[in-house]
Amino acid sequence: MPYDVLIAPFAEFDFMRRALVGTLALALGAGPIGVILMLRRMSLMGDAMAHAILPGAAVGFLVAGLNLFAMSAGGLVAGLLVAVLAGVVARATELKEDASLAAFFLVSLALGVTIVSARGTNIDLLHFLFGNVLGLDTATLMLIAAISTLSLLVLALIWRPLVLECVDPGFLRSISRAGAPVHIAFLGLVVLNLVGGFQALGTLLAVGLMMVPAVTARFWARDISTMLAVAVGVGVLSGYVGLLLSFHAGVAAGPAIILVAGALCLGSVLIGPVGGVVRPLFPKQHLEA
């Protein structure tokens, strides 16, 4: 019964459809951002940013309870604040960006958990940490879709300087002053996508749909355009398979999505055509030229 297994859960249950739409939108926006983060060796930065939005969302929760707008706005403000601070510190001092972010990272997590625990229950805390992808309401879906749309538009606009700053930052500096504003805009997109992902996957896993598909894509493509497509594809596939897995096996949906992405990633590390582990074990005769 392929229909019963693969399609029926979404056809029959509204919450499954919503979860699917939400994860698809997230994958679309977050995948390309993850690829850039990875290529800039800032893979862990998404993680740090995801933690940074927690205290802001928690303050929103403290003020207004589980209110989408308050929590998103709080998370956005806190995330942007940390992103800008870390960016400014990295540009103005000798400190590298990862070091300046690391300083904000655990403090933010601790602060956020403290604030949530002060007022909420353990269920609330779980919601903060792991999200609730099966409980996305229309407003949240709209928010996620809007963030994805905006991300793709802004990425298209700043794509050239963004790539240039990754490949040859000195060259970008010598021809244009766009480097700093583009960098800030990109960090803004990272935060926005994490705020969107936060609702579905929580602060700890929001970054999963961003980084795991990107890392997977690296093993399938030699050029960045293909890499973007693969990352989005892996994200979409993980969302779909993860939700099915969660439905049929009764496991938590958010972690299931990231686990599927993780499995795809592991498989790619092994058999990926670009730098996978297995291929060099079966060498073919070298070419003439």
Partner 1 sequence: MNAQLQFRDLTLGYDRHPAVHHLNGAIASGALVAVVGPNGAGKSTLFKGIVGLLTPLAGRIELAGLKRRDIAYLPQVADIDRSFPINVYDMVAMGLWRSTGLLGGVRGKSAEIHHAIEAVGLTGFEDRPIGTLSGGQMQRVLFARLLLQDARLIVLDEPFNAVDAKTVADLCALVQRWHGEERTVIAALHDLDLVRANFPEALLLARAPVAWGATAEVLTPGNLLKARQMCEAFDPEAHECHIDVA
Please write down the long-range contacts of 12-18, taking CB distance under 8 Å and 24 or more positions apart: 15/134, 15/135, 15/136, 16/134, 16/243, 16/247, 18/136, 18/137, 18/141
Stretch that binds partner 1, among 5-13, 146-154, 172-180, 186-194 (CB under 8 A): 172-180
SS3 at position 285: coil
- Out of 16, 83, 227, 265, the only residue in the binding site for partner 1 (CB under 8 A) is 227
- Out of 63, 142, 176, 267, the only residue in the binding site for partner 1 (CB under 8 A) is 176
- Out of 85, 178, 229, 269, the only residue in the binding site for partner 1 (CB under 8 A) is 178
Residue 249 or residue 287: which is nearer to partner 1 going by CB? 287
| Per-residue binder mask for partner 1 (CB under 8 A), 134-163, x = binder | -----------------------xx-xx-x
- Out of 207, 221, 236, 253, the only residue in the binding site for partner 1 (CB under 8 A) is 221
Using CB under 8 A as the binding criterion, the count of chain residues that bind partner 1 stands at 24
**Least distance in angstroms from the C-beta of 267 to partner 1:** 20
- Out of 17, 91, 173, 279, the only residue in the binding site for partner 1 (CB under 8 A) is 173
Please write down the long-range contacts of 250-256, taking CB distance under 8 Å and 24 or more positions apart: 252/130, 253/19, 253/133, 253/134, 254/130, 254/131, 254/132, 254/133, 254/200, 254/201, 254/202, 254/205, 255/130, 255/205
CA distance 124 to 24: 25
CA distance 30 to 206: 10
224 binds partner 1 (CB under 8 A): yes
175 binds partner 1 (CB under 8 A): yes
Residue 229 CA neighbour count, 13 Å, CB half: 6
The residue ranges that bind partner 1 (CB under 8 A) are 39, 157-158, 160-161, 163-164, 166-171, 173-178, 221-224, 227
